[in-house]
C-alpha cells in the first residue's frame, strides 16, 4: 500500500482522466472500485520519478553545451533552472527586481510559487555569471525601448511564456544529446540536494513543497544505486 500522500495525488490524476473521458465511458465506471487503479498510478508515478533526474555526467554535458551556446539568454535559463529548481511557471513570472546576481545577497525571489507560496532561493556562482551575461545583453538589446518588467524577455520585449522557456531548455538539451524539460531540471536539483545529505526541511523550502512527503520522494534509491549496492557485496 502506498503512502496517503501518494494515494491522494494519484486520485487527483485519476479523476482528471475521468473528467475528459466520453460521457458514456464515465457512466460505466465506479469510483468506489478504483483503489487498485489508484495504487497502480501512485506506484507508476514513484517509479517514473526515479528516472527524471540527470546523472552527474549528463549535468556536466548540459552545462558545457549551455556554456558554449551563442545566446546568453539560453544559457541563463538553463543554468538558473538547474541550480535553483524553480518551476517553469515561476521562471516565467520572474521580474527584474526578483533576481540579484551580484553582491553578497545573490538570490532569486519567487513571489508566485505554487499555492502563492513566497520563497527565496540562493544563487551559486555559475548561475550568477550566466544571469549577469543575460542582463548585459538585455540592457544593450532593449536600450531606449519600453519593455515588460519580466526578467526574461522575448524578441519583442514582452514576457516569455512557459512554452518558450521550455522550448529553449529542450533545444539546449538536444544539442547536448539529452531529452530534457524544465521539469527534469527541477527534479535534478532537488535530487542533488537530497543525495548530498541536506535536511529534507531545507530541501522542501528551496523546492517550495507544501508537504514533506513530496520532498522525501527524492531520496528513493535509483536503479544505479541498487546496482552499486549489489556490486559492493562481491568487493
Long-range CB contacts for residues 34-41, cutoff 8 Å, separation at least 24 = 38/7, 38/10, 38/11, 38/14, 39/1, 39/2, 39/7, 39/10, 41/10, 41/13, 41/14
CA 216, CA 108: separation in Å to the nearest integer? 24
Long-range CB contacts for residues 13-17, cutoff 8 Å, separation at least 24 = 13/41, 13/45, 14/38, 14/41
CA 223, CA 235: separation in Å to the nearest integer? 19
Taking alpha carbons only, the member of 219, 220, 192 closest to residue 206 is: 192
Q: What residues does 153 pair with on adjacent strands?
A: 159
CA 174, CA 176: separation in Å to the nearest integer? 5
The catalytic residues are 87, 114, 183, 186, 209, 218
Taking alpha carbons only, the member of 23, 87, 82 closest to residue 58 is: 82
CA 155, CA 145: separation in Å to the nearest integer? 12
Residues 6+ apart with CB under 8 A from 112: 89, 90, 93
**Residue given cell 508515478 in the structure block:** 45
Amino acid at each position: 500500500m502506498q503512502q496517503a500522500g501518494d494515494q491522494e495525488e494519484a486520485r487527483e490524476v485519476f479523476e482528471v482522466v475521468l473528467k475528459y473521458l466520453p460521457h458514456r465511458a464515465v457512466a460505466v465506471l465506479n469510483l468506489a472500485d478504483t483503489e487498485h487503479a489508484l495504487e497502480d498510478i501512485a506506484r507508476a508515478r514513484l517509479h517514473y520519478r526515479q528516472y527524471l533526474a540527470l546523472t552527474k555526467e549528463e549535468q556536466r554535458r548540459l552545462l558545457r553545451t549551455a556554456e558554449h551556446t551563442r545566446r546568453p539568454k539560453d544559457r541563463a535559463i538553463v543554468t538558473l533552472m538547474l541550480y535553483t529548481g524553480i518551476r517553469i511557471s515561476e521562471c516565467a513570472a520572474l521580474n527584474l527586481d526578483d533576481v540579484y546576481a551580484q553582491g553578497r545577497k545573490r538570490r532569486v525571489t519567487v513571489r508566485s510559487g505554487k499555492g502563492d507560496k513566497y520563497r527565496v532561493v540562493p544563487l551559486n556562482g555559475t548561475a550568477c555569471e550566466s544571469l549577469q551575461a543575460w542582463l548585459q545583453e538585455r540592457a544593450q538589446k532593449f536600450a531606449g525601448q519600453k519593455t515588460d518588467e519580466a526578467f526574461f524577455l522575448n524578441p519583442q520585449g514582452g514576457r516569455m511564456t512557459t512554452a518558450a522557456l521550455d522550448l529553449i531548455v529542450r533545444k539546449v538539451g538536444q544539442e547536448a544529446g539529452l531529452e530534457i524539460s524544465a521539469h527534469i531540471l527541477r527534479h535534478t536539483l532537488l535530487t542533488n540536494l537530497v543525495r548530498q545529505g541536506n535536511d529534507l526541511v531545507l530541501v522542501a523550502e528551496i523546492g517550495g513543497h507544501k508537504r514533506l512527503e513530496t520532498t522525501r520522494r527524492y531520496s528513493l534509491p535509483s536503479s544505479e544505486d541498487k546496482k552499486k549496492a549489489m556490486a559492493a557485496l562481491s568487493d
